[in-house]
Amino acid sequence: MTNPTELMTAGTVEFAYPPLGAAELSAAEAERMAGMFKALADPVRLRLFSRVAAHHSGEASVCDIQNVGVSQPTVSHHLKKLREAGLIISERRGTWVYCRVAPGVLPAMARMLAPRD
């Protein structure tokens, strides 16, 4: 039997990449970041991610964010891609699934995209 509060994630983000232009990325670092940016390159995924990130409580139930102009199964597919890229984590509580931005994602992406000193 599955625990109803089991986290559904491919792993939390733990990286500290330097700003682009400050140092070269390793192949593994480039692969990881490319996967994250590729996931966000889809307009529906970017909207879903922004809704989760902007939600007032820091997490959002899927029903709170699903009105993005596609069907519910398509929303589930896009949320799965965001989880696989390490951008969000999801937790089932009873019949509801709640999503939040994976710890460290936004600061790490901001650091990487910040102009070098």
Per residue in 68-85, pLDDT (tens digit) is 889 888 999 999 999 999
Query: Residue 10: pLDDT above 60?
Result: no
What band does 92 get if pLDDT is binned at 50, 70 and 90?
very high
CA distance 21 to 1: 49
Q: What is the pLDDT of residue 80?
A: 95
pLDDT per residue as tens digits for the range 20-54? 777 788 888 888 888 999 999 999 999 999 999 99
pLDDT at 17: 65
Architecture of the 26-113 domain:
Orthogonal Bundle (1.10)
pLDDT of residue 16: 64
pLDDT classification of 9: cutoffs 50, 70, 90: very low
Give the start-to-end residue ranges of the domains of the chain.
Answer: 26-113
DSSP 58-100: S-EEHHHH--SSS-HHHHHHHHHHHHHTTSEEEEEETTEEEEE
